[in-house]
């Protein structure tokens, strides 16, 4: 079953795995969607690497997620 969502900019149906809307080109991800992407990347890394390196990567992703979320909030507050 394919996961789809609605673009909040142009309202068209798009695959949830897309980072950018193929119709209007806007950046799509919201914090929940972003967490899913981070988890997917993390799971891929986890298959190849082990140990403390993964912990460090996970912590970096947590920081990155918070930074991106705050950027998104800043962008939204300017509209
Ligand atoms: Zn769109």
- Tell the burial category of 17 from Cβ atoms under 10 Å away from its Cβ (0-12, 13-18, 19+): middle
pLDDT of res. 56: 83
Q: By the 8 A CB rule, do 57 and 45 touch?
A: yes
H runs (alpha helix) in 21-51: 31-48
pLDDT tens for 44-63 read: 766 666 777 778 888 899 99
Q: How far is the CA of 4 from the centre of ligand 1 (A)?
A: 13
* Dihedral angle, C-alpha 67, 72, 73, 76, nearest 10 °: 160
Q: How far is the CA of 18 from the centre of ligand 1 (A)?
A: 11
User: Distance between CA 31 and CA 23 in Å, rounded?
Assistant: 21
Q: How far is the CA of 19 from the centre of ligand 1 (A)?
A: 11
Q: How far is the CA of 27 from the centre of ligand 1 (A)?
A: 8
Q: How far is the CA of 32 from the centre of ligand 1 (A)?
A: 18
pLDDT tens for 1-59 read: 668 888 889 999 988 888 888 999 988 766 556 677 777 887 876 666 677 777 888 88
pTM across the whole model: 0.35
């Amino acid at each position: 079953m394919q996961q789809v969502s609605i673009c909040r900019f142009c309202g068209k149906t798009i695959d949830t795995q897309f980072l950018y809307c193929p119709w209007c080109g806007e950046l799509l991800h919201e914090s929940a969607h972003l967490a899913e992407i981070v988890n997917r990347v993390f799971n891929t890394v986890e298959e190849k690497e082990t140990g403390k390196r993964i912990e460090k990567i996970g912590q970096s992703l947590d920081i990155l997620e918070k930074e991106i979320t705050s950027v998104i909030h800043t962008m939204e507050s300017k509209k």
